[in-house]
Amino acid sequence: MKRRNFLQTAAAGTAASLPFFLNGMPLQTMAKSALFSNVNPDNDKVLVLIQLIGGNDGLNTIIPLDQYVGLAQVRGNIMIPEQNVLSLTDTVGVHPGLSVLRSLYEEGKAGVVQAVGYPNQNRSHFRSMDIWNSGSGAEETWSTGWLGRYLDSYFDGYPEGYPNEERPHPFAITMGGNVSETCQGWAANYSLTVFDPFSLNPLLEGEGGALPDTPYGDELAFLRHSIAQTNAYGEVITEAANLGANTVVYPETSRLARQLKNVALLISGGIQTKVFVVSMGGFDTHANQVLEDGPLGGDHAQLLKAVSQAMTSFQLDLANLGLEDRVLSMTFSEFGRRIRSNASFGTDHGTAAPLMLFGACVNPQVLGENPEIDGQIGNSEGIPMQYDFRDVYGSILLDWFEVEESQVRNLLYDDFTYLPILNNCESVVSTEEQDVPGLNVETFPNPCQAGFTLSFQCQRAHVRITLFDAVGAVVRQLAARTLPPGRHRMEVDMSKQPAGAYFVRLQIGQQIQTKRVVKLG
Amino acid sequence: MDRNTALAGRRGRQQHSTINTFSAVTTDLEPYAGVWEQAQAAHLLRRTTFGPNKATLQLALDQGLDATILQLFTDLPLPEPPRYYDTEEGDDPNVLPEESWINMPLPEEGNVLPNRSRSLQAWTMGLLLNEEISIREQLCLFWHNHFAINNSVNDPRFWYRYITTIRGQAWGNFRQLCKDITIDPCMLRFLNGNQNEAGSPNENYARELLELYTVGKGPFAGPGDYTTFTEQDVEAMARVLTGWTDTAYQTTDPEEELTAVFQPEFHDVLPKQLSARFGGAVIADFGEEEYAHLIDVIFAQDEVARHICRKLYRWFVYYKIDEMTEAQVILPLAQMLIDNDYEIAPVLQVLLRSNHFYSILNQGPMIKHPIQFVLGPIRQCGVAFPEEWQEQYVLWQQLHELTDRMDMAYYDIPEVAGWKAYYQQPLFYRNWINSISLQQRSGYVRNLVVNGYTPGEITLRMDPLAFIATLEDPLEPNVMIAEIATLLLPQPLETSQLTALKEILIPGLPDFEWTLEYGNYLGSPDDETIRQAVESKLQDLFVGLFNMAEFHLS
């Protein structure tokens, strides 16, 4: 192999990555050893993010079998007939198009986290996707991505000096399209885009010149660096593609399948990339989500079938290649959709939605409760959030990438709560089942007027209780403290709240339960 | 500093946390009174057209800044409608070749939609390629990005009507354009306005009307409250807009007219209560006029003007809007827009005539989008098309396909918010650049210069000999290369870069060898051997130049 064309660094001095200073101290120096000493950037785990663009209708994807009476009342025109639903557990089913989830679940290689979202749900595609990509709260705007920050914590100064002898491989790859905002670091995006790993031609780099301290110089620096980096990483990718091989035939027509095929190919060829981002659009099903004359057809069924076929091939390929233990795949989407369908046989933007995980190291379980659905559901109501998406991210960082918990809190948020979504594999933090007694949450009266009494039981634990309104906005925090073991009661004043539906979310240790409460007018 | 402070910085909390800061732009919206030379004239034409050539540049230089601005905004007749040029999917029995299909129903049998789409795509690229000194096509693309649609509305007559509405108002009244688009049949279908009915509102359009088209989304201010509007407004405005639908979608009936109709029976007649963000206004039942009344209510918010001025700035100047720019450029422009009753032309003219626009800090930092990158060198180097109109359509359409592969297809914008380069923080224009797009761009210029861009039987290829024949002194390599670089790049190259380009032209040879070789060609232009030798050297030069990082900038 010829000597790789590593980037010339310091002399060219890309303006895009000049050191930045906080309180007069260069952050790179600071961050280096002091903050991030006990972490492991060199495990061989790979994360594949599957972005379902548009807001997947979670309620027609992961279907609460014990809520069919309510479902018939609020989304009768798009509901999947019960006899067609594939069951995962006694009370949880899956859309018949998404058969891969059941088969992998039965093999112990897939799991579901119910109702993932964030407080104060934003129903704009763009803003909500920004929140999911950055891992910020709804009230903050962060310009870095959650994986970008994770990578920044090891690879200071990136992109300056990368790739190099020690780190010749791209840290992240987006298959086609634009670089993924999940991988946006402080100074540059960590993801390289690859459409066809076999057709990467070297680019002419041209004669560089000085970079003026102007916007022009800044953009020029970015371009020069992108060209040089494309060449340097391009060699690595082509080499991996040539060394790798797929073992199964993927569906030809599906964009998602093509992307996953190349992911498997590159990993099998020895690429050391930690994050791959694949995506599929079309989930914004305001209309014609199902066919007028048949809820088993329509756009959503086609989309889920495409996901199912692609994942079936991918997971089988990984198993054949002996890579099952190294690769974890996770779906995400900007939000779920409304509980009530509209007259266009579709659904509008909603709140939380289930998230799916695939891989041999996934804890094969449905984490969380089914939503409660009845005919009283209002037009604006989405599925209330049970799990904060940052807890899912953080648990993956912790278990999969071996990031320390304190570090996870720094990268995401201080209230991080660990979720046992991974198991089986050696690198995984122990998540032995503890016999936790139920919370036995009760609300009385419900419906209520001036207020209601909330009661629950717990072991000695930190308890966080939050009241949300029907669109997922936080009404107020009811409690956040450590309680002694036993049964607890709490009076919740609703006198100042307008009539409508509300949700009480109790988070006690790792247990979470959401209860719907209606205030009468 | 504790670790949380350090990490808070690393999370990039601030809105404009990107990278580094520049010395502030201290100029403002006062009319530019400095020199009017090639740099300034080319800057104006690069940003307002799809690339100046030597002739348009000379004209702009001769007539001066004010006259050029006047010419950019001179009313033009609407172009001839697109013609039917290919029958790949079979003939269209309703349309003769050379005729337009824009008012023709679909045939009962056979699928002519792809043919009609290609015709419209080709025609559009032709307009961009052939436009002279006018800002109209640039503004059409701006509004197309603002009121984005995609080809899920699968009837090119709808796209034609939509873009014609935009073209007619390209620098007209923004409020009126917004009204027209709100009930445009293509938009009604695209954002499900045609399914928005009393009792079962579809709020897709109402949300984008606020979030993207008018007030924009402000910071989170409380549950369901985005400062500029609230969830309550989305729901109420969706109800205001109930009752509209389109007609004649994919129709085969020659009697059926493509238009938007108001159906009172599907309109929600109850009062609609807006939030305090709109002064708690209540929209009463105005029937067919209610939508226009709503747009008036929205446009009473000054934030509409600020939002659109930021978007105009990002389209015409630069993506970064720091506090200084916000205070000295955006806010005064927005006030002018309000004072001018939302007429776009006077406000945009102030920007394009301003000190700020000609500040050296704003010259050249725009990364070209794919349409600019593809069409630019064709326009700037005078790449010739065949005479035959059908062959022109074939090539234009293939250029459209190329921009589509580069993720920028006219009539098929991937996101409702428009192309990411104009809104997505922190990358903005940099979204256009990645390892895939760099490869595509590099491949395209090589084809255009060397192999010929040959999508079918017809080839489009730059004629470098014809191009350099238009230059001041093509016999002297240093002068020639400097002039080429000045014409095609936004900022001067350094001496070392010019020397490197000369090394591509005449590697390891003294300057006079070029003079000799090119002189030989001029002496015997019909000698194929001499011509090819000189041409291939020039091809190397242009490939080298078009591959420079600088060439991606405008």
Mind giving me the DSSP string for A290-353?
SBTTBTTSSHHHHHHHHHHHHHHHHHHHHHHTT-TTTEEEEEE-S--BBSS--TTS---B-S-E
Residue A42's pLDDT band (cuts 50, 70, 90): low
B424-463 residue pLDDT tens? 988 999 999 998 899 899 999 989 998 887 766 788 999 9
Stated as kind and residue range, the H or E segment containing B515 is: helix B511-523
The residue of chain A nearest to residue B24, with distances taken between CA atoms, is A214
> pLDDT over 90 for what percent of chain A?
58
- How high is the pLDDT of residue B89? 63
Rounded distance, CA B299 to CA A350, Å?
28
Q: A274 and A172 in contact (C-beta within 8 Å)? A: yes
Rounded distance, CA B188 to CA A119, Å?
32
Average pLDDT over every residue of B525-533: 90
Does B14 touch chain A if contact means CB atoms closer than 8 Å? yes
Asked whether the bond before A163 is cis by omega within 30 degrees of 0, the reply is: yes
Q: B129 and B375 in contact (C-beta within 8 Å)? A: yes
- How high is the pLDDT of residue B8? 46
The answer to the question of residue B507 being in a domain is yes
- Boundary residue ending a domain (B326, B346, B362): B362
Q: Does domain A442-519 have CATH number 2.60.40.2550?
A: yes
Q: B259 and B207 in contact (C-beta within 8 Å)? A: no
CATH of A15-411, one of 2.60.40.150, 3.30.70.1880, 3.40.720.10, 3.30.70.100: 3.40.720.10
| Among A328-337, A372-381, B430-439, B501-510, the range of highest mean pLDDT | A328-337
| Residue B306: pLDDT over 60 | yes
- How high is the pLDDT of residue B19? 37
Residue with tokens 């009468």: A520
Structure tokens at B142: 């701006």
Residue A197's pLDDT band (cuts 50, 70, 90): confident
**Is B1 in contact with A18 (Cβ distance < 8 A)?**
no
**Is A220 in contact with B7 (Cβ distance < 8 A)?**
no
- How high is the pLDDT of residue A425? 61
Does A430 touch chain B if contact means CB atoms closer than 8 Å? no
| Residue B1: pLDDT over 70 | no
Torsions phi, psi for A160 (to 5 deg): -55, 120
Average pLDDT over every residue of A66-93: 96
The answer to the question of residue B541 being in a domain is yes
**Is A204 in contact with B543 (Cβ distance < 8 A)?**
yes
Best of B436, B495, B551 to substitute, by most chain A Cβ atoms within 10 angstroms, is B436
Gap from B96 CA to chain A (nearest CA, Å): 35
Gap from A7 CA to chain B (nearest CA, Å): 15
Interface contacts (A, B; CB < 8 Å): 235
Rounded distance, CA A255 to CA A302, Å?
13
Give the number of other CB atoms < 10 A from CB of residue B525.
Answer: 11
A174-187 residue pLDDT tens? 997 778 899 999 88
Kindly provide the b/e burial profile for residues B298-328, where b requires at least 16 CB atoms within 10 angstroms of the residue's own CB: bbebebbbbbbbbbbbbbbbbbbbeeebbeb
Average pLDDT over every residue of B393-415: 94
CA separation, residue B46 to residues A164, B352, B364, B553 (Å): 38, 12, 9, 10
User: Which of A211, A166, A219 minimizes the C-alpha distance to B493?
Assistant: A211
Length of chain A: 521
> pLDDT over 70 for what percent of chain A?
89
- How high is the pLDDT of residue A437? 64
Stretch 18-47 of chain A: residues touching chain B, C-beta under 8 Å: 18, 20, 22-23, 25, 27, 30-31, 34-35
Q: B460 and B453 in contact (C-beta within 8 Å)? A: yes
- How high is the pLDDT of residue B87? 65
CA separation, residue A515 to residues A449, A503, A507, B61, B111 (Å): 16, 5, 12, 72, 53
Q: Which domain holds residue B307?
A: 303-362
Stretch 468-497 of chain A: residues touching chain B, C-beta under 8 Å: 469, 471, 473-475
Average pLDDT over every residue of A253-262: 93
Q: At what angle do helices B344-352 and B38-48 cross, to 10 degrees?
A: 150
User: Which of A493, A491, A494, A489 minimizes the C-alpha distance to A519?
Assistant: A494
The answer to the question of residue B496 being in a domain is yes
Mind giving me the DSSP string for A364-414?
-SEESPPPP--TT--TT-BPPPSEEHHHHHHHHHHHTS---HHHHHHHS-T
Residue A190's pLDDT band (cuts 50, 70, 90): very high
Rounded distance, CA A205 to CA A346, Å?
50
Between residues A486 and A38, the one the model is more confident about: A486
**Is B435 in contact with A234 (Cβ distance < 8 A)?**
yes
Q: B244 and B193 in contact (C-beta within 8 Å)? A: yes
- How high is the pLDDT of residue B96? 81
A112-126, A466-480, A487-501, B8-22, range with the lowest pLDDT? B8-22
- How high is the pLDDT of residue A452? 93
| Residue A25: pLDDT over 80 | no
- How high is the pLDDT of residue A7? 41
Within chain A, all domains assigned CATH 2.60.40.2550 are found at 442-519
In terms of domains, do B399 and B450 share one?
A: yes
CA separation, residue B336 to residues A283, B9, B302, B306, B418 (Å): 41, 37, 11, 10, 25
Asked whether the bond before A447 is cis by omega within 30 degrees of 0, the reply is: yes
**Is A214 in contact with B553 (Cβ distance < 8 A)?**
no
Does B233 touch chain A if contact means CB atoms closer than 8 Å? no
Within 13 A of B110's CA, how many CA atoms are on the CB side? 14
Three-class SS state of A452: strand
B165-178 residue pLDDT tens? 999 999 999 999 99
Average pLDDT over every residue of A245-267: 94
Q: Measured on CA atoms in the order B508, B510, B515, B517, is the torsion positive or negative?
A: negative
Q: Which residues of B touch A208 (CB under 8 A)?
A: 497
| Residue B544: pLDDT over 90 | yes
Best of B314, B435, B440, B441 to substitute, by most chain A Cβ atoms within 10 angstroms, is B435
- How high is the pLDDT of residue A188? 85
Residue A10's pLDDT band (cuts 50, 70, 90): very low
Does B7 touch chain A if contact means CB atoms closer than 8 Å? yes
Maximum distance among all alpha carbons in chain B? 84
| Residue B10: pLDDT over 80 | no
Three-class SS state of B257: coil
**Is A201 in contact with B439 (Cβ distance < 8 A)?**
yes
Between residues B530 and A117, the one the model is more confident about: A117
**What rounded mean pLDDT belongs to chain B?**
92
Residue A21 zone, left/alpha/beta (φ > 0; ψ -120 to 50; rest) = beta
Rounded distance, CA B430 to CA B318, Å?
12
Helices in B317-384 by DSSP H: which ranges? 323-325, 331-339, 344-352, 355-358, 370-380
**Is B549 in contact with A471 (Cβ distance < 8 A)?**
no
What are the DSSP E strand ranges found in A46-161?
46-52, 62-64, 86-87, 92-94, 110-117
**Is A187 in contact with B549 (Cβ distance < 8 A)?**
no
Between residues A206 and A61, the one the model is more confident about: A61
The answer to the question of residue B250 being in a domain is no
Total domain count for chain B? 3
Structure tokens at B197: 């009915």
Rounded distance, CA B505 to CA B538, Å?
6
A452-461, B129-138, B240-249, range with the lowest pLDDT? A452-461
Q: Which residues of A touch B494 (CB under 8 A)?
A: 209-210
Asked whether the bond before B455 is cis by omega within 30 degrees of 0, the reply is: no
User: Which of A421, A326, A357, A320 minimizes the C-alpha distance to A105?
Assistant: A357
CA separation, residue A482 to residues A25, A462, B466 (Å): 39, 4, 82
- How high is the pLDDT of residue A285? 93
Best of A342, A351, A381 to substitute, by most chain B Cβ atoms within 10 angstroms, is A342
Q: Which residues have a Cβ under 8 Å from the Cβ of B249 and sit 6 or more positions away?
A: B153, B155, B158, B185, B189
In terms of domains, do B387 and B444 share one?
A: yes
Residue A113's pLDDT band (cuts 50, 70, 90): very high
The answer to the question of residue B484 being in a domain is yes
User: What's the DSSP call for residue B135?
Assistant: S
| Residue A422: pLDDT over 60 | yes
Q: Which residues have a Cβ under 8 Å from the Cβ of B148 and sit 6 or more positions away?
A: B413, B415, B416, B417, B418
Q: A139 and A131 in contact (C-beta within 8 Å)? A: no
**What rounded mean pLDDT belongs to chain A?**
86
Within 13 A of B307's CA, how many CA atoms are on the CB side? 19
Average pLDDT over every residue of B81-103: 83
**Is A286 in contact with B204 (Cβ distance < 8 A)?**
yes
Q: Which residues of B touch A192 (CB under 8 A)?
A: 434-435
- How high is the pLDDT of residue B26? 44
Q: A125 and A284 in contact (C-beta within 8 Å)? A: yes
A497-501, B44-48, B60-64, B386-390, range with the lowest pLDDT? A497-501
Written in H, E and C, the secondary structure of B70-102 is: HHHCCCCCCCCCCCCCCCCCCCCCCCCCCCCCC
Q: Which residues have a Cβ under 8 Å from the Cβ of B430 and sit 6 or more positions away?
A: A219, A222, B367, B421
Does B492 touch chain A if contact means CB atoms closer than 8 Å? no
Stretch 139-198 of chain B: residues touching chain A, C-beta under 8 Å: 191-192, 195, 197
The answer to the question of residue B380 being in a domain is yes
| Residue B18: pLDDT over 70 | no
Within chain A, all domains assigned CATH 3.40.720.10 are found at 15-411
- How high is the pLDDT of residue A40? 53
Stretch 433-472 of chain B: residues touching chain A, C-beta under 8 Å: 433-439, 442-443
Q: Which amino acid is at B173?
A: N
Average pLDDT over every residue of B145-149: 98
Q: B298 and B304 in contact (C-beta within 8 Å)? A: yes
B205-237 residue pLDDT tens? 999 999 999 999 998 888 889 999 999 999 999
The answer to the question of residue B490 being in a domain is yes
Average pLDDT over every residue of B322-343: 96
Average pLDDT over every residue of B545-551: 95
A286-300, B197-211, B454-468, range with the lowest pLDDT? B454-468
The answer to the question of residue B548 being in a domain is yes
**Is A143 in contact with B18 (Cβ distance < 8 A)?**
yes
User: Which of B213, B217, B136 minimizes the C-alpha distance to B178?
Assistant: B213
A460-465 — which CB contacts under 8 Å span 24+ positions?
Answer: A460/A484, A460/A485, A461/A508, A461/A509, A462/A508, A462/A509, A463/A488, A463/A506, A463/A507, A463/A508, A464/A415, A464/A506, A464/A507, A464/A508, A465/A490, A465/A504, A465/A505, A465/A506, A465/A507
Asked whether the bond before A170 is cis by omega within 30 degrees of 0, the reply is: no
